[in-house]
């Protein structure tokens, strides 16, 4: 179905730091359709984690400004008061699998209890039904009955991550934000988890926002790719176009820097390093590292170019590339 679940408009986040105002997320716009997986890729410091957490209003202590709209089924969830947000949206409509969450499981609680706890606290479910439901979900993610009564430290990395996914699913959300869900896992375990995510997506009709730095990995799940750099989304495109017809120079360079097993290609890394978000470069934030930089890139922020209905790029050269 082509129903649009989530619409993010001109989302801005900035933090107060000792050195000044850190503009972590700058004018982000995107849409998420039902049953779609949107992958947000970027390197460290690009703001993708801030964006992910910001979508469920998880702001750090030093939050300075929050601007823009996050429209979930038409309602701007940024404007809801704390209580209705917590009761109706958070974990009910959108939940999140945090980076490194598997290391934050409570070591003194049994797995079953941990997964069932939100049901007992927020839904006031009685213990028996909450445990029953938790067992169901854990079975769904592949944790057998035997392991359900164990403590988290008795589980392996892959199993812990499954528990985290179960905790994200327990309240039947429609959207799950996954922030580097497999980065701490071995490759084979990673594949197992990705397989699980694929199956769940189909069976439960979920939509994912998949945040990662691993570009090759995203192809396993993503329908749409969004590339983030220095707090901005510089390109959004369907995944095929991403690999076959990247538009933004950063996207192109990124693809060229990733080693792959089977493709024999000349690899190049991107010189320089990501800019400070307290004093980002004027104009296009990527211009100091761009081999094709033009004068206008240094002064004026490039507008988004609609290469097609579904392909959008923030690069002056995109105009020239057009849609091929």
Report if residue 262 touches other proteins, rule: CB under 8 A. yes
Secondary structure (DSSP) of 231-255: TEEEEEEEHHHHHHS--SHHHHHHH
Closer residue to other proteins (CB): 75 or 276: 276
Structure token pair of residue 119: 């049901």
Report if residue 43 touches other proteins, rule: CB under 8 A. yes
179 with 143: CB under 8 angstroms?
Answer: no
Q: Please tell me the distance from the alpha carbon of residue 150 to that of residue 105, in angstroms, as a whole number.
A: 12
Report if residue 105 touches other proteins, rule: CB under 8 A. no
Q: Please tell me the distance from the alpha carbon of residue 183 to that of residue 99, in angstroms, as a whole number.
A: 8
Closer residue to other proteins (CB): 88 or 220: 220
Closer residue to other proteins (CB): 133 or 160: 160
Report if residue 145 touches other proteins, rule: CB under 8 A. no
Binding residue (CB under 8 A) for other proteins from 223, 252, 281, 288: 223
The site string for other proteins over 49-88 (x = CB under 8 A, - otherwise) reads ------------x---------------------------
Closer residue to other proteins (CB): 9 or 252: 252
Q: How far is the CB of 315 from other proteins (least distance, A)?
A: 17
Cα distance between the two ends of the chain: 27
3-class secondary-structure state, position 31: strand
What burial class does residue 266 get, using C-beta atoms within 10 Å of its C-beta: 0-12 exposed, 13-18 middle, 19+ buried? exposed
Q: How far is the CB of 257 from other proteins (least distance, A)?
A: 4
Q: How far is the CB of 227 from other proteins (least distance, A)?
A: 12
Report if residue 139 touches other proteins, rule: CB under 8 A. no
Q: How far is the CB of 228 from other proteins (least distance, A)?
A: 13
141 with 195: CB under 8 angstroms?
Answer: no
97 with 168: CB under 8 angstroms?
Answer: yes
Beta 37-41 vs 224-229: how paired, if at all?
parallel
Q: Which residues bind other proteins (CB under 8 A)?
A: 37, 43-45, 61, 156-159, 186-192, 194-195, 198-199, 213-217, 219-223, 239-240, 242-243, 253-255, 257-263, 267-270, 273-274
């Amino acid at each position: 179905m082509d129903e649009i679940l989530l619409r993010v408009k001109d989302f801005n986040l900035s933090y107060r730091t000792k050195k000044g105002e850190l503009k972590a997320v700058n004018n982000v716009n995107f849409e998420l359709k039902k049953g779609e997986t949107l992958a947000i890729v970027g390197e460290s410091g690009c703001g993708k984690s801030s964006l992910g957490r910001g979508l469920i209003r998880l702001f750090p202590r030093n939050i300075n400004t929050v601007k823009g709209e996050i429209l979930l089924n038409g309602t701007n969830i940024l404007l809801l008061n704390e209580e209705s947000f917590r009761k109706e949206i958070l974990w009910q409509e959108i939940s999140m699998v945090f980076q490194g969450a598997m290391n934050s499981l409570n070591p003194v609680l049994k797995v079953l209890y941990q997964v069932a706890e939100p049901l007992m606290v927020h839904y006031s479910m009685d213990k028996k039904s909450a445990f029953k439901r938790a067992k169901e979900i854990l079975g769904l993610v592949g944790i057998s009955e035997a392991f359900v009564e164990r403590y988290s430290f008795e589980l392996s990395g892959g199993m812990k991550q499954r528990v985290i996914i179960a905790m994200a699913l327990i309240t039947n959300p429609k959207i799950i934000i996954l922030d580097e869900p497999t980065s701490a896992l071995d490759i084979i375990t990673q594949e197992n988890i990705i397989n699980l995510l694929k199956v769940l997506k189909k069976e439960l009709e979920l939509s994912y926002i998949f945040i990662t730095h691993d570009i090759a990995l995203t192809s396993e799940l993503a329908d749409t790719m969004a590339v983030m750099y220095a707090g901005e989304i510089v390109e959004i495109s369907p995944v095929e176009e991403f690999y076959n017809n990247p538009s933004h120079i950063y996207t192109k360079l990124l693809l060229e820097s990733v080693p792959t097993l089977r493709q024999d290609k000349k690899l190049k890394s991107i010189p320089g390093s990501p800019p400070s978000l307290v004093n980002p470069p004027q104009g296009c934030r990527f211009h100091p590292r761009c081999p094709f930089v033009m004068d206008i890139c240094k002064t004026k922020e490039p507008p988004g170019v609609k290469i097609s209905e579904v392909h959008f790029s923030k690069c002056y050269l995109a105009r020239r590339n057009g849609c091929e």
